[in-house]
Amino acid sequence: MMKQHQHRTVIKRVHPHEWRWRASAAAGALVVALLAGYLWGANRPSDMPFFNSPEERLRDQVAQLNLEREADQQTLQALQSTLSENVAELSEMREMLALYRGVMLPEETGDLVVSRAPIVAYDPRNQTLSAVAMVHRGSEDFAEYRGEMTLILEGFLSDEPHEVNLAVLDTASETSVFPLSFRYLQKVQIAVSLPQGFVPEKLVSLVRLVEPRRITTERRDAIGGSATVGLANVEAGDNASESRIR
């Protein structure tokens, strides 16, 4: 008689979270494989002609050089602007220093007072003019200088010679002259509107002192040109004498 095989029933115990573990392990293996592929590809020269061509590398270099050039130009412009401002400030400081040296340590010219060249700004479009005139003590030192300054603008109106008294046009002035009273120096500042059609050519600065002595000085400065200076000293009881410096 043939033996009959007996079938056995095998019972296998499976953990309820085993499928999750297997899924996690597979996902981890996939991530590791992708990361290894990325690192291998990043360290390997690319065979794609677009990213590895000499033309593309040259374009990148040119673009980088252009950016550096623009940055250098901006830096250079900023430095030039700063340098120009410093030069202008230095020039103004030198002029101011020379002015105060002239006031505190005037040259031995014998002049009782010195009338400086005025600073004039003329706008022909708006027919306006601003000026700053200055007078300071000369080689002699007195406690007070008193007198008056007259500013006359010479020019042409309708092709005819014409004169304008700036003190009359100045709304801040109550008279036709600017009073002077100083120990070392005094500035006279004005800003006026000129008559329509008037073309200024010269500014005449006339200073008349009454103290410490009676004396008159005059200078003539071209508007927008070189200055022509005229000096006239009038002592009390003497006739006027005039000398011109060009």
- Overall average pLDDT of the 128-154 stretch: 89
- Overall average pLDDT of the 28-39 stretch: 74
Q: Are residues 117 and 224 in the same domain?
A: yes
* 203 closest CA partner among 217, 228, 221: 221
Q: What is the pLDDT of residues 223-238, one digit of tens each?
A: 864 333 333 333 333 3
pLDDT in the model for residue 181: 92
Q: What is the pLDDT of residues 1-17, one digit of tens each?
A: 555 555 566 565 655 66
Give yes or no for residue 161 having a pLDDT over 90: yes
Of 59-63, 85-89, 93-97, 189-193, minimum mean pLDDT range? 93-97
Q: Are residues 225 and 121 in the same domain?
A: yes
Q: What is the pLDDT of residues 168-183, one digit of tens each?
A: 988 887 888 999 998 8
Give yes or no for residue 98 having a pLDDT over 70: no
Give yes or no for residue 86 having a pLDDT over 90: no
Q: Are residues 192 and 215 in the same domain?
A: yes
Percent of the chain with pLDDT over 90: 28
Structural domain total, the chain: 2
Count how many residues are written for the chain.
246
Q: Are residues 90 and 156 in the same domain?
A: no
Owning domain of residue 135: 113-245
- Overall average pLDDT of the 129-136 stretch: 90
Between 245 and 160, the more confident residue is 160
Q: Are residues 156 and 61 in the same domain?
A: no
Q: Are residues 92 and 73 in the same domain?
A: yes
DSSP 118: P
Give the C-alpha separation, 203 to 229, whole Å: 10
User: Model's pTM, two decimal places?
Assistant: 0.51
Give yes or no for residue 79 having a pLDDT over 60: yes
Query: Residue 127 sits in a domain of what CATH number?
Result: 2.60.40
* 165 closest CA partner among 114, 215, 119, 131: 131
Q: Are residues 89 and 120 in the same domain?
A: no
Q: Are residues 99 and 217 in the same domain?
A: no
Q: Are residues 154 and 240 in the same domain?
A: yes
Which region, left, alpha or beta, applies to residue 169 given φ > 0 means left and ψ of -120 to 50 means alpha? Answer: alpha
pLDDT in the model for residue 228: 37
Q: Are residues 56 and 130 in the same domain?
A: no
Report which residue type is found at 99.
Answer: L
Q: Are residues 122 and 98 in the same domain?
A: no
Q: Are residues 132 and 75 in the same domain?
A: no
- Overall average pLDDT of the 137-145 stretch: 83
Give yes or no for residue 220 having a pLDDT over 80: yes
Percent of the chain with pLDDT over 70: 70
Between 51 and 244, the more confident residue is 51
